[in-house]
């Protein structure tokens, strides 16, 4: 059995019918994807046979790579099936809510800890908490929360810009994220749709990455 994970290997053997069949399937993938590690190709074969690989592999990078290869295979198969038709080929519509958040290249904690799932309000609150904790840790401001945290952050000159209007805009941007996004969930039961959940998680990702850029420019 060698290098492949024991439990998922056993299940895949049952699906394919033999150990040799598993090895042959992986070798065929190696011929197609020459620069990809055998471990990832093994999981690709497993996923194509209906095995939920996230039960056996927790490495986000491995799971993301398998998702990419699955997507490439599906696109390739679709083109092959339709390339002999005279009509214009239309690709199937993709539901953005079925795409793993890891594909959006999010801040690591957001990709790892947030999901587009019910209750959506809980996922939104968690994303905003990750933003708050990021600012606390970046500026060593533990013990400050919400709007008070942004006021303390402002004292460090993190929002400094040559254009003072832009500087105010940055301050108000982060203040509003706490006064509205954070506090509206803390003061009352939030109602949210899956669309709002995705939008706010992506917005929080923008705020974290922008804050990191400001830190590198004004503090570091």
Q: What confidence tier does 151 reach under pLDDT thresholds 50, 70, 90? A: very high
| Rounded mean pLDDT, 87-101 | 59
- pTM of the full predicted structure? 0.57
Within its chain, how far is the Cα of 124 from the centroid? 14
- Tell which wins on pLDDT, 131 or 1: 131
pLDDT at 1 over 50: no
pLDDT at 86: 47
Q: Which of 11-20, 35-44, 182-191 has the lowest mean pLDDT?
A: 182-191
177: its two tokens: 């994220």
pLDDT at 23: 83
pLDDT at 78: 44
pLDDT at 96: 63
Within its chain, how far is the Cα of 118 from the centroid? 17
Residue 179 CB burial class (10 angstroms; 0-12, 13-18, ≥19) = middle
71: its two tokens: 């997507």
How confident is the model over 167-220, as pLDDT tens digits?
Answer: 999 999 999 999 998 887 766 777 889 899 999 999 999 999 999 999 999 998
How confident is the model over 107-149, as pLDDT tens digits?
Answer: 999 988 998 888 999 999 999 999 999 999 999 999 999 999 9
Phi, psi for residue 196 in degrees, rounded to 5? -65, -35
| Rounded mean pLDDT, 79-107 | 61
How confident is the model over 54-91, as pLDDT tens digits?
Answer: 777 777 777 787 777 777 665 555 444 555 554 545 54
pLDDT at 101 over 70: yes
Q: What is the DSSP letter of 180?
A: I
| Rounded mean pLDDT, 145-168 | 96
Judged by DSSP in three states, 2 sits in coil
């Amino acid at each position: 059995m060698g290098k492949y994970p024991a439990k998922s290997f056993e299940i895949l053997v049952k699906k394919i019918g033999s150990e040799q069949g598993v090895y042959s399937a992986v070798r065929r993938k190696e011929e197609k994807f020459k620069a990809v590690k055998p471990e990832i190709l093994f999981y690709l074969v497993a996923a194509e046979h209906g095995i939920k690989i996230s039960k056996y592999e927790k490495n986000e990078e491995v799971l993301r790579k398998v998702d990419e290869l699955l997507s490439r295979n599906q696109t390739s198969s679709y083109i092959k099936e339709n390339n002999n038709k005279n009509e214009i080929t239309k690709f199937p519509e993709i539901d953005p809510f079925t795409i793993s958040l890891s594909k959006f290249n999010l801040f690591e904690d957001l990709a790892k800890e947030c999901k587009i799932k019910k209750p959506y309000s809980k996922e939104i609150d968690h994303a905003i908490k990750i933003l708050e904790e990021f600012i606390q840790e970046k500026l060593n401001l533990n013990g400050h929360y919400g709007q008070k945290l942004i006021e303390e952050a402002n004292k460090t000159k993190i929002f400094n810009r040559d254009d003072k209007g832009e500087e105010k805009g940055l301050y108000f941007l982060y203040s509003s994220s706490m006064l509205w996004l954070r506090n509206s969930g803390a003061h009352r039961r939030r109602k949210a749709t899956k669309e709002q959940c995705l939008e706010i998680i992506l917005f929080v990702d923008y705020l974290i990455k922008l804050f990191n850029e400001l830190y590198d420019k004004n503090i570091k």
